[in-house]
Amino acid sequence: MTSPASSSSKNSTTVRPAGGLDVVVIGAGPGGYAAAIRASQLGLKVALVERDNRLGGVCTLRGCIPTKALLHTADVLEDARHGGELGVVASDVRLDLAAAHAFKNRVVEKNSSGVGFLMKKNGVQVVQGFGTLTAPGRVQVKDDRGEVRVLETRNVLLATGSAPKPLPGLPFDGERVLSSDHALELSRVPASLAIIGAGAVGVEFASLYSRFGSRVTLIEMLPRLLPIEDVDVSTELERSFRRRGIEVHTGAKLEDTRVTGNGVTLSLRTSTGEVRTLEVEKLLVAAGRRPLTEGLGLEALGVTLERGFVRVDGEMRTSAPGLYAIGDIVPTPSLAHVATMEAIIAAESIAGLAPQPIVYDHVPSCTYSAPEVASVGLTEARAKERGYDVRVGRFPFSALGKARVLDHTEGFVKLVSDARYGELLGVHLIGPHVTELLAEAGVALRLESTVEELARTMHAHPTLSEVIHEAAEAALGHPLHI
């Protein structure tokens, strides 16, 4: 083990718990705290470094959890507005945005404090401050007061996450030009809102604020919404958004943006070549995120960054001995559940085990808009690109009894399979609660199930899960209810 780093600061201390640390994890998001827990479970001595005063990272504090809390408010609001159709009459149904934020904040604080409890339960030492690698096995942590501590360790795991990426020449100001962080804290609903980027973040905020009362325009440079999803799902989502009054521009190019005293003026070239001018109160940029790898000291350790990302192998090891990286700073899908699985693999590798690498084709994708979108496995187009003779089975929610009971019949499920052997290749859903239905598909892919095995699996009635059984029957050529 290397000797302690020298420091001119009188506030600098070197931390050497008895026996030394086995792992220092930098970043307390879903990947970082999961890595700390699993490493501790495997008998390793662990410290978790986090620059924020709260644990949980972007997902818990400014991403997944608060966004979904507000989306739930939008769901309840929409159901209340249409309750009379089901025999529940409510008068003066309206949004109380302050109360919605209070609910969101309670959920966030509960989750964040839960992470703190888990750290204590698992004996993980939490160190507040910004961590920097000053040498192999040495992490310098500077806290909010400027005090510096040095942690010596056998291994370091980086899980520092990502941040919203602004458009070139158009910085976030939090007033007119918003990041997703800003969009979670607005004190009032804007009269009009343009959103650039129709990935999961842009689509979710379009769904959220349109139901809250904003006039929403959604702009995407690529030919369709949710470009990574199956084309049929993207097409159905666009139809649904248009029916809900959301203005959608796909295949569009943003030519000019000006912040004015009243809002933001956008010059947009549409897919037909027409130039449109849009004037909106606020602009939300949801066109991507950037990995947070600046200032970590990676260059001094010989770690090469590619567009800010850290390259790793199947066990999440970087090119530097004893240094691992997971989550949004590696070039894999930027999803909390991906970071968590990568964390488990990294911790098990550090402990000397031989974990199985992640099959990234099987990463589940969820978008919590109305309607919801969920998928796992290959799209029809991707399966054909890989040379499969593709067979598809589809079934609409409108033909499903439970969907009618819930009065949410929009959407469908699409199964993609290999025609020769019947192997399931992908499952793509749009409709009510499909993010909760997706797990069955993930297990089926993991076990290399066939469509016939899904069709022969008894699904309870009446449930939404029957939609997968019915789609499997459709893929075999004998659907029951269409």
Residues belonging to the active site: 461
Q: What is the DSSP string of 128-181?
A: ESEEEEEETTEEEEE-TTS-EEEEEEEEEEE---EEE-PBTTB---SSSEE-HH
Q: What is the end-to-end Cα distance of the chain in Å, rounded?
A: 68
Q: What's the CA dihedral at 439, 445, 448, 453 to 10 degrees?
A: 50
Omega cis (within 30) before 30: no
Q: At what angle do helices 30-41 and 336-350 cross, to 10 degrees?
A: 30
CA distance 292 to 327: 11
CB 175 within 8 A of CB 211: no
35 near 127, Cβ under 8 Å? no
231's tokens:
């084309």
Is 156 in contact with 135 (CB distance < 8 Å)?
A: no
Nearest Cα residue to 242 out of 213, 206, 274:
206
Q: What DSSP state is assigned to residue 19? A: T
Give the pair of three-digit tokens for residue 77. Answer: 């609001």
Please say whether the beta carbons of 241 and 218 come within 8 A.
yes
